[in-house]
């Protein structure tokens, strides 16, 4: 079952920096767990104190968010991952313990529709803690929504932005998930379609 999550009645602007800093302030000096499930798994350009594999319950990773600023452009948006609430599912990723000041940089990186949400995460060693995750809900302007894995692959193959080609995002994510022995049929199926499209 898929449940839509709405943070506000109004649609969000394409720049969520202010909204995150206004609605989700973090105390100075606090150390916070951040759950990463997309590029935050493989592109770690921020300082952290500790990192370990983690998972969150009742969420699925999906390439349903548009990227106009990193892996696409206004004219040709790419596709990147967001989380869809789905009872019974588990999304595996990486948790980083970061100092509060790091969110200034992360809010800029994730500004294209992502809001910080409090989340319970479980660690591979059996322990659990609360932390934050960036999620792009269906009411943000950059949201593209559901499409078949083949359609998503076609769009990814045609998109490129300031951070590089969109297929690099998917390929790096798939490689990292595989290295962590994570099963993610959605990601691997898009990867397979991309390989076939590129072989044509
Ligand atoms: C994340 O990786 O946790 C958020 C989505 C992204 O930056 O790709």
Which pLDDT value is given to residue 22? 85
31 among known catalytic residues: no
What is the per-residue pLDDT across 33-92, written as a single tens digit (0 to 9) for each?
999 999 999 999 999 999 999 999 999 999 999 999 899 999 999 999 999 999 999 999
* Nearest protein CA to atom 7 of ligand 1, as residue: 39
From 156, 163, 141, select the one nearest 194 (Cα to Cα): 156
Domain spans in the chain, listed from the N-terminal domain onward: 17-199
What average pLDDT is seen over the chain?
92
pLDDT of residue 10: 41
| pLDDT per residue as tens digits for the range 136-166 | 999 999 999 999 999 999 999 999 999 999 9
Residue whose Cα lies nearest atom 1 of ligand 1: it is 38
Tell me which H or E stretch contains 168. helix 166-179
Residue 3 confidence (pLDDT) above 60: no
Judged on CB neighbours under 10 Å (0-12, 13-18, 19+), 148 is: exposed
Asked if the 17-199 domain carries CATH number 3.10.490.10, the reply is yes
Structural tokens at position 84: 């869809």
DSSP secondary structure letters along 91-137: EEEEEEEEETTHHHHHHHHTTTT-EEEEEEEEETTS-EEEEEEEE--
State the catalytic residue, choosing from 19, 110, 149, 191.
110
SS3 36: strand
Structure tokens at 4: 């839509």
Ligand 1 close to Cβ of residue 42 (< 6 A) = no
Quickly state the pLDDT bin for 4 (edges 50, 70, 90).
very low
Alpha-carbon span 46 to 66, nearest angstrom: 23
Residue 58 φ then ψ, to 5°: 70, 25
Burial of 25 (0-12, 13-18, 19+ CB in 10 A): exposed
In the reported structure, the alpha carbon of residue 106 is separated from the centroid of ligand 1 by a whole-number distance in angstroms of: 10
Nearest to 119 by CA among 60, 61, 56, 62: 56
Compute the distance from residue 64 Cα to the ligand 1 centre, in Å.
12
pLDDT, residue 14, reads 63
- In angstroms, what is the span from residue 94 Cα to ligand 1's centroid? 11
CA 84 – CA 94 distance, rounded (Å)? 17
- Atom 3 in ligand 1: which residue has the minimum CA distance? 36
The Å distance, Cα 36 to ligand 1 centre, comes to: 6
**Shortest-distance atom of ligand 1 to CA 135:** 4
Q: Measured from the CB, is residue 40 less than 6 Å from ligand 1?
A: yes
Q: Between these two residues, 132 and 10, which has the higher pLDDT value?
A: 132
């Amino acid at each position: 079952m898929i449940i839509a999550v709405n943070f506000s009645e109004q649609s969000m602007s394409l720049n969520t920096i202010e909204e995150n800093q206004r609605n989700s302030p973090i105390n100075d000096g606090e150390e916070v767990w951040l759950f990463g499930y997309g590029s935050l798994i493989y592109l770690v350009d921020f300082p952290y104190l500790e990192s370990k594999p983690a998972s969150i319950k009742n969420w699925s990773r999906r390439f349903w968010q548009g990227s106009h600023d990193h892996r696409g452009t206004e004219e040709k948006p790419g596709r990147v991952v967001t989380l869809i609430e789905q009872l019974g599912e588990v999304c595996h990723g990486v948790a980083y313990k970061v100092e509060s000041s790091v969110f200034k940089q992360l809010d800029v990186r994730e500004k294209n529709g992502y809001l910080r949400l409090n989340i319970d995460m479980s660690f591979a060693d059996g322990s659990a803690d609360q932390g934050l995750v960036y999620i792009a809900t269906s009411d943000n302007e950059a949201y593209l929504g559901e499409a078949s894995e083949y359609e998503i692959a076609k769009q990814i193959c045609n998109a490129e932005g300031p951070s590089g080609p969109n297929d690099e995002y998917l390929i790096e994510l798939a490689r990292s998930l595989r290295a962590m022995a994570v099963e993610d049929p959605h990601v691997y199926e898009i990867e397979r379609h991309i390989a076939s499209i590129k072989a044509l």
